[in-house]
Amino acid sequence: MQFLGKDIGANLIGGVWGQASDGATFAVTDPATGSTLGHVPSATADDTARAIDAAYAAFLKYREDPVSARAEKLRRLSALISQHQEALARIMTAEQGKPLPEARAEVASSAAYVLWFAEEARRSMGDVIPSPWAGRKLMTTRHPIGVVAAITPWNFPSSMLARKIGPALAAGCCVVVKPASATPYSALVWGVLVEMAGFPAGAVNIVTGSARVIAGELTRNPKVRKLTFTGSTEVGKMLIRDCADTVKKVSMELGGNAPFIVFDDADLDRAIDGAMIAKFRNAGQTCICSNRIFVQSGIHDAFVARLVARTEKMVVGPGAQDGVEIGPMIDDAAVEKTQGLIDDAVSGGASVLTGGGRHPQGGCFFKPTVVAGATPAMRIAQEEIFGPVAAIYRFETEEELIAQANDSTYGLAAYVYTRDLGRTFRMQDALEYGLIGVNEVLIVTPEVPFGGLKESGLGKEGGWQGLEDFLETKYTCIGGLQAQ
Ligand code: NAP
């Protein structure tokens, strides 16, 4: 795979592009065709340790850079991402499968996050604290935490990296990235871009390959002071445990089980538009996808009929093809898991109103599906669906709804459709979710803190909070200031 004339089938360690020390590689597949796009290195634990050493060596110098210089490089990086948006989007669609307009939007979001952190870099301020003692000054100062390990998922292979590389470089940290094996090219392109933006060798290192091998070294190595992870709750929990021995700071952006709630008084047109986006974007493979659609009984039948009609019109096909709204799922295991959840729901009494199985296009394509009559005990209610399946639950009262919506170990995103202002605020208080959209589903932007409650995560990405996680606070007390 080429990007700007460079072969990106290599890892970047300390400013040098190369292969794994034992020469091992793995194939990257286009989920729309099953064809091989190319091969990337399968890095060893020693390669990962070299990447950490390179990041540490770079950090000792990079942290001395004036903040204005860091901000200027980040602005250049943001501009480069925007300038090469089309090429970056096409690489993403090729390996991830999402429709090109979604890939373009994700690349634009990456540029926006990097620009946001270029601006936030200049606001990493400490405090001067009123002293209870005479002749002393008390203050806090902010310092970059050190070497950061970033592990990212395949569903948003660029923007999830932007939310980690952006604040890390803004804070003065250097990074070792381990991208998802399904989508390594969307990470490797960042290596080319950070070099073009003028970041020093070692500021960003990228190693691809076995998660266990690479993450094993990243979590074990004491030079890594922070791990920032986006992925499943299952893996996140293991990584938290693995970081305990060296007491690393961790940020975790984990799974979700978003309720999408439609009350009788909702604007139905708006709720349907919202449901289509919140459910089917990225073929339903989104952590903030609506996983459980709760519809109040007075509006239930009208909502379901409209949702089915819209779902049946969706255009399924290769993401690079014009007009396609749903691309392939990431791999066959994802297709099988989605099918299993539908089969379990049907065996429990739910009915498939449209879709329900593999798409005639074959391969990893799945029919956009609506399942009605789902109940909280079904697997489809308890697990992340991570596929293009809208599961609908009927409810009667607000009290019943709140209990059901919060009946999840996850707490990432929730959506509410209502025109009642009092209910809006009651929902804001009652819903145990880190992100809440009321009459809106496109609520994520660099200016706001993104992060889950409960088992959906620790820490925030974006907003002023997004920089905090990459900084340490030191307190200094300066005494002996009285006149002698
Ligand atoms: P995943 O299986 O947890 O993988 C995520 C990353 O962790 C990949 O780089 C993966 O590498 C690596 N990994 C896998 N097993 C590992 C292990 N034993 N030790 C260390 N690292 C390991 O998740 P995914 O399937 O890529 O992504 C989907 C999940 O991410 C969903 O649960 C979704 O909700 C969540 N997500 C959350 C957010 C958020 O902001 N909260 C955003 C996007 C996605 P390999 O690819 O090499 O296995």
Mean pLDDT estimate for the chain: 98
CA-to-CA distance for 177 and 185, rounded, in angstroms?
Answer: 12
The reply to whether ligand 1 has any atom less than 6 angstroms from the CB of 152 is yes
Query: Which atom of ligand 1 is found nearest the CA of 252?
Result: 41
First to last CA, the chain: 70
Ligand 1, atom 23: nearest CA belongs to which residue? 231
The reply to whether ligand 1 has any atom less than 6 angstroms from the CB of 215 is yes
Ligand 1 test: best mutation among 110, 235, 444, most atoms within 8 Å of CB?
Answer: 235
- State in Å: Cα 378 to ligand 1 middle: 24
CA-to-CA distance for 207 and 232, rounded, in angstroms?
Answer: 20
CA-to-CA distance for 166 and 168, rounded, in angstroms?
Answer: 6
- State in Å: Cα 232 to ligand 1 middle: 5
Residue 79 has pLDDT above 90, yes or no: yes
CA-to-CA distance for 135 and 133, rounded, in angstroms?
Answer: 6
pLDDT at 452: 98
Query: Which atom of ligand 1 is found nearest the CA of 215?
Result: 20
The reply to whether ligand 1 has any atom less than 6 angstroms from the CB of 454 is no
Q: How large is the average pLDDT for residues 21-38?
A: 98
Query: Which atom of ligand 1 is found nearest the CA of 456?
Result: 41
pLDDT in tens, 84-116: 999 999 999 999 999 999 999 999 999 999 999
Ligand 1 test: best mutation among 155, 176, 208, most atoms within 8 Å of CB?
Answer: 155
Identify whether 253 is a catalytic site residue.
yes
| Main-chain phi, psi angles of 183, to 5 degrees | -135, 55
The partner residues of 391 in beta bridges, in order of sequence, read 371
Number of H helices, E strands in the chain: 15, 24
What tokens does 114 get? 């990097």
Confidence of residue 354 (pLDDT cuts 50, 70, 90): very high
Residue 484 has pLDDT above 90, yes or no: no
Residue 178 has pLDDT above 90, yes or no: yes
- State in Å: Cα 113 to ligand 1 middle: 21
- Active-site choice (95, 102, 253, 325): 253
pLDDT in tens, 229-274: 999 999 999 999 999 999 999 999 999 999 999 999 999 999 999 9
Sequential DSSP letters for 145-178: --EEEEE--SSSTTHHHHHHHHHHHHHT-EEEEE
Whole-number percent of the chain with pLDDT over 70: 100
Ligand 1 test: best mutation among 113, 164, 287, most atoms within 8 Å of CB?
Answer: 287
Residue 130: how many CB atoms within 10 A of its CB?
Answer: 7
Residue 449 has pLDDT above 90, yes or no: yes
The reply to whether ligand 1 has any atom less than 6 angstroms from the CB of 211 is yes
pLDDT at 479: 98
The reply to whether ligand 1 has any atom less than 6 angstroms from the CB of 155 is yes
The reply to whether ligand 1 has any atom less than 6 angstroms from the CB of 156 is yes
Burial 193-226, CB ≥16 within 10 A → b, else e: bbbebebbbbbbbbbbbbeebbbebbbbbebbbb
Strands 204-206 and 224-230: unpaired
The reply to whether ligand 1 has any atom less than 6 angstroms from the CB of 218 is no
CA-to-CA distance for 32 and 247, rounded, in angstroms?
Answer: 42
Are the beta carbons of 215 and 207 closer than 8 angstroms? no
Whole-number percent of the chain with pLDDT over 90: 100
- State in Å: Cα 402 to ligand 1 middle: 29
Are the beta carbons of 353 and 20 closer than 8 angstroms? no
**Of 112, 230, 245, 256, the residue nearest 178 (C-alpha):** 230
The reply to whether ligand 1 has any atom less than 6 angstroms from the CB of 243 is no
The reply to whether ligand 1 has any atom less than 6 angstroms from the CB of 256 is yes
What tokens does 422 get? 């009092």
Please give the model's pTM, rounded to 2 decimal places.
Answer: 0.97
The reply to whether ligand 1 has any atom less than 6 angstroms from the CB of 254 is yes
Q: How large is the average pLDDT for residues 137-161?
A: 98
Q: How many CA atoms lie within 13 A of 435 on its CB side?
A: 29
Q: How large is the average pLDDT for residues 453-480?
A: 97
Identify whether 400 is a catalytic site residue.
no
pLDDT in tens, 47-72: 999 999 999 999 999 999 999 999 99
Would you say the C-alpha torsion 355, 357, 360, 365 has a positive or negative sign? positive
Residue 308 has pLDDT above 90, yes or no: yes
Confidence of residue 303 (pLDDT cuts 50, 70, 90): very high
Sequential DSSP letters for 334-375: HHHHHHHHHHHHHHTT-EEEE--SB-TT-TT-B--EEEES--
CA-to-CA distance for 112 and 106, rounded, in angstroms?
Answer: 10
- State in Å: Cα 171 to ligand 1 middle: 25
pLDDT at 358: 98
Residue 331 has pLDDT above 90, yes or no: yes
Strands 2-3 and 6-7: antiparallel
pLDDT in tens, 162-174: 999 999 999 999 9
- The secondary element (H helix, E strand) that includes residue 410 is strand 410-411
